[in-house]
Structure 1
Amino acid sequence: MFQAHINVEYCNSVKSIKYICKYVNKGSDMAVFQIVQNSEQNNRNDEILMYQMGRYINSNEAAWRIFSFPIHERKPAVQHLAVHLENGQRVYFTRDSARKIASEPPENTTLTAFFQLCQTDSFAKTLLYVDVPIYYTWDKTRKIFQRRKQGMPEEGHPEIMKADTIGRVYTVHPNNAECFYLRMLLHEIRGPTSFTDLRTINGYLCQTYREACQRLGLLENDNHWELTLQEATLIASAEQLRELFAIILTKCNPSNPKQLWDAFKRSMSDDILYQIRQTNPELTIEFNDDIFNETLIRLEDKCLAINNQALVELGMPAPQRNAFSVLNYEITKEKSYNVNELLEYIAHNKPLLNDNQKKVYDVIMYRIINNTGGIIYLDAPGGTGKTFLLNLILAEIRVKKHIALALASSGIAATLMEGGRTAHSALQLPLNIAEQQFPVCKISGKSGRGQCLKQAKVILWDECTMAHKKSLEAMDRTLQELRKNSEIMGGALLILSGDFRQTLPVIPKSTPADEINACLKKSHLWSQVQILQLTKNMRVELSKDETTAHFAKILLQIGEDTYPTNQTTGLIELNSDFCNIATTENDLIDKIYPNFVQNYTNVEWLFQRAILATKNNVVDDINFNILKKIPGEERIYKSMDTMVSSEESVNFPTEFLNSLQVPGMPLHCLRLKIGSPIILLRNLSSPKLCNGTRMIVKQLSNNIIEAELISGKNKGQTVFIPRIPLISSELPFQFKRLQFPIKLAFSFTINKAQGQTLKYCGINLKEPCFSHGQLYVACSRSHSSRVTRGI
């Protein structure tokens, strides 16, 4: 249309800033030129002349500049906003005017004018400092804010006009502490009328702005962990309190854990004292060192289970027990399964194996009995009874007091296996494993976990297709070192199970080729893998329903890329034969969550359903829309965001860090109500609190959240979730977010849903699938077209 080359720069992420700023200001093209006659004398290479630089402007650019058309423009407008302490305005004067200026009050700044505006304007009382330029203009002459006369009317306030002007408060270095905290308050408190009002929190006048930030919960300090445990002592049992303290020790790195122990050791020991008094009713028994030592032993057991760390490594006093018992905690745990329960489980479930499962079972058990190491991969599409078979194999090994380790790539899959743990935490895999050439697991041969891996008869790894190929290679190197055996996996038998039709390893900013190259099939170890298959769909067999069979058939075609696609778009078109089609997002919500207000208190009803989407922003919108339907007060928890390197704090203001929505991290502003479902975003305490565990909020306190588990083998148990520090590696800089590691779970992403089973599943495809296996994963969460709805 324009018959010209038009360069449009879209600044879509923080990583683009440097490129954009440099590109739009680089100036005209430069050229090296020389005009000479064609002769041998002039053909000599004159380096000085060759380096003469000339400015070249073509005719189009010359005409543009002659007519004084703009070279570039910036939109929207940015209003700079002053920040200073009380009576800390900048004053400009000369030698001659110094006395006169000193005798007069200082001129208004945008900050003092904002305070004055909030004293007289009721609408301004509802605004943050940075929002004022949207509705008011700054009169530089009179030094006041005035309401806009042009623009779009504000919803609910037709007399108020708004524009797209952006307010930006000048940055302050953290070394200028009080001004830094004042600036932080201006981004949190609406409509302050003075500096004094700004540091008045809930009717209490704080002496400093730092104290005000502290009272608002905007700053992190060790007092936070003390308040967390104080709240927990009011509602948690001693066992739950020990579990919470173990999570704080292993995940939160408090600076003085011994002080926390001394303050709360009695509360953590209540149940032990009670048990001893019940056993010895004739004696008067009070708290003593023996009781506290037993508490420390139980606490250390939890820390070892969570992060393989003894208390002495965490800055705590070591319990009085021999080193042998600490070393063998992992081994004792893996050999402590109830034999009678295992025999009963085997006797009941082994006859239920179908022919296909029995064949796979016999092959695996033959290799276990004959101590034949190596790798087996069990290919198992959804509904073929993979988890049922794996649990039976685990029981067969454990009943003979052998060690069988159950690992999974996802937290949900780990909770479905007895004694299951996520592979990442159990193997201590490096966080940046994709960037390392020859990674190894961070496990010492002298540790309890190292001893456990040495003695393992078999290792099961479910949902292995989600793992990076370097995870498998790191495990191979580690087992060879630990077991002093150069055979593959150190001579141990590794059983991998999964479904390559599902999502592959997540590689940020990658191409499909990058994802495929990272999957296990591209590992040099794959050529030595024995492949077994489960093909018979048990859901179809048990239901005896033609609709379910048709659904399973199409689902397999989607997973194997044999389902017909649109010739024009290349996309799969789902019709009403496969799933019920919703017309709008609200229609989808109503179909998956019918009669919501009457049913949301039913835990089983909530657990059976969810809406899946491809991207987090779509998920967040759905969650917030449904949350509004829950009656009751909404509680807002704001994260504490800081730069890991304090030297970079001035370049990344707090409000910028607050605005970041990083995949896998909780939002800065977490909105919750009692009764809302939530999903865990981090492994806290395997196998009970794994990444992907779903819960229902039972109580909302200032520093802890009480929730009830609604998934996994610990379903129905009450847990307490603290804030934990989270550091993202997704950005070109590192920042820390202290927040509850959860998000609402009316809806979650398709990747997060892998391993989940839903009775009623909604699929929102307004944003299309963008990586291998996402559509297959979304559709395979339920078992029938009658309970699957899409938009």
Structure 2
Amino acid sequence: MPKPTNIGIDLSNRLSTEERNYPRDALREKHDEWIGKMTDEQRAIYDEIITAVLKDCGGVFFVYGFGGTGKTFLWKTLSAAVRYRGLIAINVASSGIASLLLDGGRTAHSRFGIPINPDDFTMCNISPESDLANMLKETSLIIWDEAPMMSRYCFENLDRSLSDIMKNTDNKPFGGKVVVFGGDFRQVLPVISGAGRAQIVLAALNSSYLWEHIKVLTLTKNMRLMSEDLSESAARDIKAFSDWILAVGEGKVAEPNDGEALIDIPEEFLIENSNDPIEAISRAVYGDLEMLHKRAEPKFFQSRAILCPTNNDVNTINERLLEKLQGEEMVYLSADSIDPQDSESLNNPVFTQDFLNSIRLSGLPNHSLRLKVGAPVMLLRNIDPKAGLCNGTRLKITQMGHNVLEASVITGDRVGHKVLIPKVLIKPSDTKLPFRIRRRQFPLSIAFAMTINKSQVQSLQEVGLFLPRPVFSHGQLYVALSRVTSKKGLKILIVDKEGQSQKETMNVVFKEVFQNLRN
């Protein structure tokens, strides 16, 4: 093999080499093009952050803006500005789906080695002299998208680890690195099993000791209103719809309230007088259900979904629509066992095979997985994030074997790519069970419908919001409403316990989380 000729590249550190290995000339051209498209707000934020990077003076920023204000566009421009200069910019996000929108994006947990259950005493799994530690020493900019979704302990763990790696004696946050967080506190906050309102608010980023060091930069202009082809009436409609969604997200509808209030849904979005609610919401989103098997284009399922508050509602709809899908059905059964590391439960006769097979947990595929060719599915585990296969990626089944599945990607920038999905060994990361179970199964679930939390950061043209029970946590209704790209694609069906359609639903907003966002 010929010896490398790249002079000046540290070939001993694979991670640093990978982060510097971007086409600098092409990035500079794109950067110059993107700079010209920025709004005044975006340019002011860009200038402040890039100045901090080039002066190497550190600083922590939070870019606060609702969907459509151009946060992802800003991340692309900032990354290009740093990388074409030969510096290192690390892009991470709180979820796998969000990381796919970033160039070179990874989940924060995988990039920084953050523990699954962080607390006040844990640190990131980074050895002081490892390649990762040395790359972080050279890093000029860290961008962390969708930050409000994660517990404050994740950020505090990274702060302690970077301070340790950088041997920080000035007590600067994150070891003196320039760190940019982004997101929207109107969306779903950290999910904590069994937690109440106070615990969730206290787990948010702006309840951390780091918040006093963070400068909030706000984006307020809706980029969808800036299209040159937009008529005046269409612009008014978009602005009115956007303002209503923001009012829902901030709990300003049906005020005064303490954050929980019944709100009226405009009639233009409602599905009323339905004898069969599931049939009605399914037809509103997917059209003629008898023709589902002919929907061959990946973009058909990519652009639409039914959203529900709970997994039980999602499973009911998915099973019903799978029956409507024509074609041969295959049933895949899992192999369940007690984790060998759980020595106390390993030989317990109570944990029979039938009992283990009956367990259903969030994030764990069912013991009995029913599939058909043409069915949309969702990945439940990160398999290959670089190839776009991460938790939340949606695919369409194209072929079914006994031990492997072929599927076509229908989300992200790899739409239409064929991938092979194997069975994997899955252990639930967070469970209240008094024992540790492991399950070998395809890491998939049917995805005609999905929970509201799973839909976060995705954009859809057709959204059916099915509410057989009210939302129960901060930001869920706001997230569901803001997934749709235009109001003509939104349909809402609210039903009571008797199955009768309703015109109002509960909105839950923890208003305390907004108190210190204006600094």
- TM-score (ref. length: structure 1): 0.57
Q: 1:553 aligns with which of 238, 243, 248?
A: 243
The alignment status of 1:618 with 2:313, answered yes or no, reads yes
Question: Any idea what the Cα deviations from partners look like across 1:283-333, whole Å, max 9, x if unmatched?
Answer: xxxxxxx9xxxxxxxxxxxxxxxxxxxxxxxxxxxxxxxxx85x5111111
Deviation at 1:704, TM superposition (A): 1.5
Q: Distance in 2 between matches of 1:718 and 1:444?
A: 37
Q: Distance in 2 between matches of 1:343 and 1:713?
A: 22
The alignment status of 1:725 with 2:425, answered yes or no, reads yes
Does the CA contact (< 8 Å) of 2:306 and 2:450 recur in 1?
A: yes
Q: Distance in 1 between matches of 2:492 and 2:383?
A: 33
Deviates more, 1:622-631 or 1:403-412: 622-631
Root-mean-square deviation (CA), in Å? 1.9
Deviation at 1:501, TM superposition (A): 0.3
Q: Distance in 2 between matches of 1:423 and 1:490?
A: 17
1:532-551, aligned counterparts within 5 Å? 532-542=217-227, 543-544=230-231, 545=234, 546-551=236-241
Counterpart for residue 351 of structure 2: 652
Counterpart for residue 442 of structure 1: 125
Does the CA contact (< 8 Å) of 1:694 and 1:745 recur in 2?
A: yes
Q: Distance in 2 between matches of 1:771 and 1:751?
A: 10
Does the CA contact (< 8 Å) of 1:547 and 1:784 recur in 2?
A: no
Amino acid at match of 1:549: K
Deviation at 1:713, TM superposition (A): 2.6
Deviation at 1:595, TM superposition (A): 2.7
1:377-526, aligned counterparts within 5 Å? 377-433=62-118, 436-486=119-169, 487-526=172-211
The alignment status of 1:641 with 2:347, answered yes or no, reads no
Residues 708 and 780 from structure 1, CA distance in 2 versus in 1: closer, same or farther, beyond 3 angstroms? same
Does the CA contact (< 8 Å) of 1:552 and 1:783 recur in 2?
A: no
Q: Distance in 2 between matches of 1:448 and 1:704?
A: 35
Residues 566 and 457 from structure 1, CA distance in 2 versus in 1: closer, same or farther, beyond 3 angstroms? closer
1:334-353, aligned counterparts within 5 Å? 334-353=19-38
Question: Any idea what the Cα deviations from partners look like across 1:700-753, whole Å, max 9, x if unmatched?
Answer: 111122122222233332222222212223122211111111111111111111
The 3-state SS of whatever aligns with 2:262 is coil
The 3-state SS of whatever aligns with 1:637 is strand
Deviation at 1:769, TM superposition (A): 0.7
Deviation at 1:570, TM superposition (A): 2.8
Higher helix share: 1
Deviation at 1:530, TM superposition (A): 0.4
Question: Any idea what the Cα deviations from partners look like across 1:45-78, whole Å, max 9, x if unmatched?
Answer: xxxxxxxxxxxxxxxxxxxxxxxxxxxxxxxxxx
Amino acid at match of 2:427: I
Deviation at 1:567, TM superposition (A): 8.4
Q: Distance in 2 between matches of 1:416 and 1:395?
A: 14
The alignment status of 1:585 with 2:262, answered yes or no, reads no
Residues 630 and 511 from structure 1, CA distance in 2 versus in 1: closer, same or farther, beyond 3 angstroms? same
Amino acid at match of 1:432: N
Does the CA contact (< 8 Å) of 2:285 and 2:462 recur in 1?
A: yes
Amino acid at match of 1:767: R
Does the CA contact (< 8 Å) of 2:190 and 2:204 recur in 1?
A: yes
Residues 713 and 449 from structure 1, CA distance in 2 versus in 1: closer, same or farther, beyond 3 angstroms? farther
Q: Distance in 1 between matches of 2:240 and 2:178?
A: 37
Percent identity, aligned pairs only?
A: 37
Q: Distance in 2 between matches of 1:745 and 1:763?
A: 14
1:665-676, aligned counterparts within 5 Å? 665-676=364-375
Amino acid at match of 2:271: I
The alignment status of 1:627 with 2:313, answered yes or no, reads no
Q: Distance in 2 between matches of 1:459 and 1:601?
A: 40
Q: Distance in 1 between matches of 2:140 and 2:418?
A: 34
Deviation at 1:585, TM superposition (A): 2.2
Deviation at 1:648, TM superposition (A): 4.3
Q: Distance in 2 between matches of 1:674 and 1:649?
A: 40
Amino acid at match of 1:686: P
Q: Distance in 1 between matches of 2:347 and 2:261?
A: 46
Q: Distance in 2 between matches of 1:616 and 1:663?
A: 8
Counterpart for residue 572 of structure 1: 263
The 3-state SS of whatever aligns with 1:535 is coil
Question: Any idea what the Cα deviations from partners look like across 1:262-301, whole Å, max 9, x if unmatched?
Answer: xxxxxxxxxxxxxxxxxxxxxxxxxxxx9xxxxxxxxxxx
Q: Distance in 2 between matches of 1:398 and 1:711?
A: 27
Amino acid at match of 1:471: C
Amino acid at match of 2:243: K
Figure out how many residues of one structure are paired with residues of the other and give that number. Answer: 465
Deviation at 1:565, TM superposition (A): 6.0
1:13-32, aligned counterparts within 5 Å? none
Q: Distance in 2 between matches of 1:601 and 1:391?
A: 32
Counterpart for residue 515 of structure 2: none
Does the CA contact (< 8 Å) of 2:52 and 2:59 recur in 1?
A: no
Residues 573 and 567 from structure 1, CA distance in 2 versus in 1: closer, same or farther, beyond 3 angstroms? farther
The 3-state SS of whatever aligns with 1:762 is strand
Unaligned runs of 5+ in 1: 1-289, 291-323
The 3-state SS of whatever aligns with 2:406 is strand
The 3-state SS of whatever aligns with 1:562 is coil
Amino acid at match of 2:480: A
The alignment status of 1:711 with 2:401, answered yes or no, reads no
Deviation at 1:340, TM superposition (A): 2.9
Question: Any idea what the Cα deviations from partners look like across 1:437-464, whole Å, max 9, x if unmatched?
Answer: 3111001122222222111110000000
Question: Any idea what the Cα deviations from partners look like across 1:601-659, whole Å, max 9, x if unmatched?
Answer: 12111110001111011111111111122221111111111111353441211111111
Q: Distance in 2 between matches of 1:374 and 1:653?
A: 55
Q: Distance in 2 between matches of 1:442 and 1:586?
A: 49
Kindly indicate whether structure 1 or structure 2 has the higher relative contact order, using CA contacts under 8 Å at least 6 residues apart. Answer: 2
Question: Any idea what the Cα deviations from partners look like across 1:356-415, whole Å, max 9, x if unmatched?
Answer: 211211121121121121210000101111111111111111111111000000111100
Q: Distance in 2 between matches of 1:605 and 1:348?
A: 32
- TM-score (ref. length: structure 2): 0.86
Higher strand share: 2
Q: 2:481 aligns with which of 766, 779, 786?
A: 779
Does the CA contact (< 8 Å) of 1:350 and 1:392 recur in 2?
A: yes
Q: Distance in 2 between matches of 1:766 and 1:451?
A: 52
Residues 335 and 587 from structure 1, CA distance in 2 versus in 1: closer, same or farther, beyond 3 angstroms? same
Amino acid at match of 2:130: S
Amino acid at match of 2:131: G
Bigger Rg over Cα: 1
The 3-state SS of whatever aligns with 1:651 is coil
Amino acid at match of 1:600: R
Residues 765 and 561 from structure 1, CA distance in 2 versus in 1: closer, same or farther, beyond 3 angstroms? same
Deviation at 1:566, TM superposition (A): 9.9
Q: Distance in 2 between matches of 1:638 and 1:448?
A: 41
Does the CA contact (< 8 Å) of 2:298 and 2:416 recur in 1?
A: no
Deviates more, 1:558-567 or 1:609-618: 558-567
Q: Distance in 1 between matches of 2:347 and 2:483?
A: 44
Deviation at 1:573, TM superposition (A): 2.3
Does the CA contact (< 8 Å) of 2:309 and 2:467 recur in 1?
A: yes
Q: Distance in 2 between matches of 1:668 and 1:349?
A: 48
Does the CA contact (< 8 Å) of 1:539 and 1:783 recur in 2?
A: no
Residues 566 and 722 from structure 1, CA distance in 2 versus in 1: closer, same or farther, beyond 3 angstroms? farther
Deviates more, 1:641-650 or 1:480-489: 641-650
The 3-state SS of whatever aligns with 1:777 is helix
The alignment status of 1:529 with 2:214, answered yes or no, reads yes
Counterpart for residue 217 of structure 1: none
Counterpart for residue 45 of structure 2: 360
Q: 1:788 aligns with which of 474, 485, 490?
A: 490
Deviates more, 1:557-566 or 1:620-629: 557-566
Question: Any idea what the Cα deviations from partners look like across 1:424-447, whole Å, max 9, x if unmatched?
Answer: 1111111121xx331110011222
